[in-house]
Amino acid sequence: KRVGFAIVGLGRLSINQILPAFAKSESCKPVALVSGDRAKALKLAAQYGIADSNITDYAGFEKLKEMPGVDVIFIVLPNGMHREFVVRSAKMGKHILCEKPMANSVAECEEMIAACKAANVKLMIAYRQQYEPINRTLEKAVREGKIGTLRSIVASNSQDQGDPTQWRLNKKLAGGGAMPDVGIYCLNAARFLSGMEPVEVFATIVQPKDDPRFREVEARCEVIARFPNDVTATFTTAYDTHRSTFLRLEGSDGFAEMDPAFGYHGAKLRFVKLMDGKDTEMAPSIEEEDQFALEMDHMASCVTNNQQPHTAGEEGLQDQRIIEAIYRSAATGRSVKVVPPAGSTRGP
């Protein structure tokens, strides 16, 4: 039996990535839709074989409780709405997959985790990169010392946000600008690939006064994060540059690079390593798989086998703690210490 997903919010991500990914998933199927636009929902329901009776709007959200086949609720709404809809889902006793960033604040993340614990439901944050084979190969290679001892991480995830009226530029709905939306990929990759939690951050933000898009949120954010063992991560993220996305891990004996790094498709990985006195380049051939199908299959397997998701709510909460430290650093001009979570399984 396939695990049934209700998709909440039919924006670009749901329509262009998530719904099409069910065809590639091994164990999931879309069974319900939640949208403020009934005509759009009816059209998509017909396309994906979802019963019209399994469509509802936000006011009727609680109807999901009685709809047949809904095992998991996938929240794909603007960031500032994640808390409300995760808590409402938990109260219905449904398992939840929630898009990144988890929410707009540490307090919201803690409330979401508590609501899911109280209702005894699973909460997973959709960090698709952590389920994707090229990233997993890189994580394993670093862990096995393929580039020697990890010294530093350099990354960028930047793009141009055109429409000045979109929710991504509204602080209440987005939580911030480039940092929580696209910069979070650099941050989460640094934690995932180093296997460690940062202990201190220093950051600066740019919010151009003459650009109407950035009245409420930052256009750019530059971060230096210190990790244990003298490892550092430096990254840049922007909403006012041409698309640029790369990642480089520098080690004592070589480096690994992904360029492009954080997109839906086409990530490229190469290693450069000293061999017989000269730099040798290796590009492992790894078959690309649909990241959204992989993350949904992971959620389904956690539900079926009663296991804790690999990227549970605590993973989203820790990114949010670091993002708050980043904003504090930018506001004060000083570095800010970050306390790694108690019982963290990440090194050193």
**Per-residue contact string for residues 26-65; x = within reach of ligand NAD by CB under 6 A:** ----------x-----------------------------
Which among 71-79, 146-154, 305-313, 334-342 is the span making contact with ligand NAD, rule CB under 6 A?
A: 71-79
* Binding status of residue 290 toward ligand NAD by CB under 6 A: no
Least distance to ligand NAD, CB of residue 251, Å: 28
The tokens of 5 are what?
């997903």
Distance CA 173, CA 228 (A): 34
Nearest-10 Cα torsion for 4, 102, 185, 78: 80
Q: Establish if 93 lies at the interface with ligand NAD (CB under 6 A).
A: no
Stretch that binds ligand NAD, among 7-15, 186-194, 195-203, 209-217 (CB under 6 A): 7-15
Cβ proximity to ligand NAD: between 167 and 286 the closer is 167
Pick out residues in 101-120 that bind ligand NAD (CB under 6 A): none
Q: Does 185 participate in catalysis according to the annotation?
A: yes
Catalytic residue among 29, 63, 94, 100: 100
Considering only residues 305 through 344, tell me which ones interact with ligand NAD, judged by CB under 6 A: none
Q: In the block, which residue shows the tokens 């992904």?
A: 258
Q: Which stretch binds ligand NAD (CB under 6 A): 20-28, 74-82, 221-229, 325-333?
A: 74-82
CB of 312 to ligand NAD, least distance (A): 16
Cβ at position 152, least distance to ligand NAD in Å: 26
Nearest-approach distance from CB 217 to ligand NAD, in angstroms: 13
Distance of CA 3 to the CA centre of its chain: 22
- Strand 278-282 versus strand 269-275 pairing type: antiparallel
- Taking the least distance from each CB to ligand NAD, the nearer of 19 and 336 is 19
Strand order in the sheet with 3-8: 55-56, 28-34, 3-8, 72-75, 95-98, 123-125
Number of residues that this document lists for the chain: 348
- For residues 242 to 281, the per-residue mask of contacts with ligand NAD, x marking binding by CB under 6 A and - elsewhere, is ----------------------------------------
Task: Please name the residues in contact with 237: beta carbons below 8 A apart, sequence gap of 6 or more.
Answer: 156, 157, 158, 178, 179, 182, 183, 186, 220, 221
Which of 44, 50, 72, 77 is the binder for ligand NAD (CB under 6 A)? 77
Report CA dihedral (59, 65, 67, 70) to the nearest 10 degrees: 110
Using only C-alpha atoms, what is the Rg of the chain? 20
Q: Report the C-alpha gap between 57 and 140 in whole angstroms.
A: 43
Known catalytic residue: 100? yes
Q: Kindly state the helix (H) or strand (E) to which residue 189 belongs, with its residue range.
A: helix 184-194
Strand ordering across the sheet containing 336-337: 278-282, 269-275, 254-258, 240-251, 150-160, 232-238, 220-226, 200-206, 336-337
Hey, which residues between 160 and 189 contact ligand NAD (CB under 6 A)? 167, 173, 181
Residues with Cβ < 8 Å from 49, sequence gap 6 or more? none
When CB distances to ligand NAD are compared, the closest residue is 11
Which residue in 2, 13, 24, 151 binds ligand NAD (CB under 6 A)? 13
Among 34, 112, 126, 205, binds ligand NAD (CB under 6 A): 126
Cβ(269)–Cβ(134) below 8 Å: yes
Task: Give me the active site residues, please.
Answer: 100, 185
Q: Which residues bind ligand NAD (CB under 6 A)?
A: 9-14, 36, 76-79, 99-100, 126, 128, 167, 173, 181
